[in-house]
Structure 1
Amino acid sequence: MLHRPASRYVKAMTNIMTTGDGFEQAARILREGGLLGVPTETVYGLAADACNATAVAKIYAAKGRPDFNPLIVHVDSLKMAEELAVFDPLSRRLAEEFWPGPLTLVLPLRGDAALAPSVTAGLGTVALRQPIGVLAELASSLGTGIAAPSANSSGRISPTTAQHVADDLEDRVDLVLDGGTCAVGVESTIVKCTNGKINILRTGGITADQLTEIAPLAEPEKSGKIEAPGQLLAHYAPDVPLRMNAHEVDEGEGQLAFGPAPLHSAGPSLNLSPTGDVAEAARNLFAMMKTLDSAGVAGIAVQPVPENGIGAAINDRLRRAAHGSQSSSNQSGEDHG
């Protein structure tokens, strides 16, 4: 569940409403081809009618997202998903086990699916997820899937509050629904099933251990081709350099600590989880990265975070952020979703 919002109407250029007060207006905006900032259990999404090519084009324009990077389509049920894609038995079992929730399935696109072509970036597959909460309710109201990558400018840190969306996208979004802070805090896990095995395309809110309770994992594919969001190397980037596995904090750096023994730091210091809880760290990751990024530091030093459980997703985001922050200085940042 999403925590309740603490504040509203913080940015004059952005219309922000609570999910309850703004639902009908949000549904109308979607039907009319507009863009919404919408809370989910993972991160806030930038939502549009997935069947409206003009609306989907607005997503790419608002984010500055490369058009070869496909979008996730959010549905209200397995039934709606089956109208868009062909499910194999293992993919259906995963949906039944983990939907609604932070798992995205990459599946063959049905020939009669009415999705805008740009949603799939010309691929013969589509990424589908049934989220928890208002985004699924909006899909029910619309009667079809909703395309929604993360509601941020291309390549930047993902938003976990309505304020993050407003600060970044400003008047590029017609309305932001404020559902509070996202409960998971990192994007969904994306998988593709092949020959009875699960291939993890992006780590996220469902862990590898949870997946292996259903079926074995496939060896990671190294084709280099983009099959789903989140596969580009430079993602989630702050404006300042970020370095991982720090054992000291350099002069001028801010510290992103983890656990009960933060490093000595003369500058700003935030702790992802003083108790060493990786789930708490995931919830805090993007918000704390944003805070340090805007604190006037020369860089961000991140203490080691274990790879167990959702820690794998945290480290994936940090690796891409580290690469992306270096790329930003060379003006070559990329996008995620």
Structure 2
Amino acid sequence: MLVLDGGPCAVGIESTIVDCTRGVPVLLRPGAITRAQIAAACGLQPLSKEELPAHTPRASGTLEAHYAPAAKVRLMDAAALQTALDLLGADAAHIAVYARTMPRTQSTRLVMRRMPDDAEATAQQLFAALRAFDDQGVKLIWIETPPATAAWEGVRDRLQRAAAA
């Protein structure tokens, strides 16, 4: 087996998967090419895979648990994340937190990394951050759910897949 490493990706979530076999584009996996760019190129607004679920092609990048790190990933809003850490108190160990809103904690054993406020910067570092948490031996990765906006669609997709494992 041969593995070529071209170094860090410029975008981080480069690949977009679009199914063009149904008469209308269906966005199977958002990525560097946005929904708006697909619409501009095709002249049609792409549907989501949930809008036409029958016969959705199975490609490696569209599997539900694709991109999962070894540690269990859980997505939660900032308030739920803070509540969970408050309940654990100083006992929080083997847990990593990746969040835009950094929670308060009494634990000195918690691994914390700030998620950028910018969707593009988060996309660029997302997989490196998840792999770094794995390298640090954490068992759980708690991630603040990204905003439900078009700019964050690709990041949300990758995080939902990571949490599905």
Q: Same fold (TM over 0.5)?
A: yes
Which of structures 1 and 2 has the bigger CA Rg?
Answer: 1
Shift of the alpha carbon at 1:227? Answer: 4.3
**Length-normalised TM-score, structure 1:** 0.40
**Length-normalised TM-score, structure 2:** 0.77
For residue 205 of structure 1, the aligned residue among 28, 32, 35 is 32
* Greater RCO structure (CA 8 Å; 6+ sep): 2
Shift of the alpha carbon at 1:269? Answer: 0.8
CA distance, structure 2, for counterparts of residue 310 and residue 235 of structure 1: 21
Cα gap change, 1:277 to 1:316, in 2 (>3 Å): same
CA distance, structure 2, for counterparts of residue 262 and residue 224 of structure 1: 41
Aligned to 1:176: 4
8 A contact 1:238–1:290 mirrored in 2: yes
Aligned to 1:131: none
CA distance, structure 2, for counterparts of residue 286 and residue 208 of structure 1: 22
Shift of the alpha carbon at 1:286? Answer: 0.3
Aligned to 1:77: none
| 1:221 counterpart = 2:52 | yes
Q: What's the Cα RMSD here?
A: 2.1
8 A contact 1:188–1:205 mirrored in 2: yes
CA distance, structure 2, for counterparts of residue 295 and residue 225 of structure 1: 37
Aligned to 1:231: 62
Aligned to 2:153: 312
Q: Deviations over 1:1-26 (max 9, x none)?
A: xxxxxxxxxxxxxxxxxxxxxxxxxx
Secondary structure in 1 matching 2:103: coil
Give, as a single letter, the amino acid of the residue that structure 2 aligns with 1:268.
V
Shift of the alpha carbon at 1:225? Answer: 4.3
8 A contact 2:60–2:66 mirrored in 1: no
Secondary structure in 1 matching 2:133: helix
Aligned to 2:128: 287
Aligned to 2:18: 191
8 A contact 1:205–1:310 mirrored in 2: no
Aligned residues: 146
For residue 262 of structure 1, the aligned residue among 102, 108, 112 is 102
8 A contact 1:245–1:305 mirrored in 2: no
CA distance, structure 2, for counterparts of residue 233 and residue 254 of structure 1: 22
Give, as a single letter, the amino acid of the residue that structure 2 aligns with 1:307.
A
Q: Which runs of 5+ in 1 are unaligned?
A: 1-171, 325-337
8 A contact 1:206–1:310 mirrored in 2: no
User: Between Structure 1 and Structure 2, which shows a larger proportion of helix residues?
Assistant: 2
Give, as a single letter, the amino acid of the residue that structure 1 aligns with 2:96.
G
CA distance, structure 2, for counterparts of residue 230 and residue 245 of structure 1: 23
Give, as a single letter, the amino acid of the residue that structure 2 aligns with 1:295.
Q
Sequence identity (%): 30
